[in-house]
């Protein structure tokens, strides 16, 4: 499912099936809403925004996660720290937004 960033920032309430709950290395559960799914160089990435603002994040920020297949067949999410990949994923997201608005 893909969500426009403006929709996300409008304060719209989301149904439970719109929420992705991820667990941090410390065992804390964090709820995210998927902004977009982006394919880049043969991999799939999800742009996710936390439901509740995380420390150090602004309201209009989101995180990029690489979507991987776990051994049990379920999807796993690995946070991306590589600025080059993050920039490329957001560039593709913005390109797709521009196309959809044209």
Residue 75 CB partners (closer than 8 Å, separation 6+): 67, 68, 69
Structural element, H or E, at residue 8: helix 5-9
Q: Residues 80-96: what's their mean pLDDT?
A: 96
> Which residues, other chains included, contact 45 with Cβ-Cβ below 8 Å and sequence gap of 6+?
37, 38, 39, 64, 65, 66, 67, 80, 85, 89
pLDDT at 63: 95
What pLDDT is stored for residue 86 in this prediction?
97
Better-scored residue on pLDDT, 8 or 30: 30
What's the pTM?
0.79
Q: How confident is the model at residue 24 (pLDDT cuts 50, 70, 90)?
A: confident
- In terms of phi and psi (left: phi > 0; alpha: psi -120 to 50; beta: otherwise), the region of 56 is left
Q: Once rounded to an integer, what is the mean pLDDT over residues 12-27?
A: 74
């Amino acid at each position: 499912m893909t969500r426009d960033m403006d929709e996300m920032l409008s304060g719209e309430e989301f149904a439970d099936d719109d929420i992705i709950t991820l667990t941090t290395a410390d065992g804390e559960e964090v709820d995210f809403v998927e902004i977009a799914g982006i394919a880049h160089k043969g991999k799939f990435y999800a742009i996710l925004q936390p439901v509740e603002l995380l420390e150090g994040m602004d309201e209009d920020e989101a995180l990029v996660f690489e979507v991987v297949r776990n051994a049990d067949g379920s999807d796993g999410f690995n946070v991306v720290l590589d600025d080059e990949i993050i920039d490329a994923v957001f560039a593709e997201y913005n390109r797709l937004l521009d196309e959809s608005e044209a």
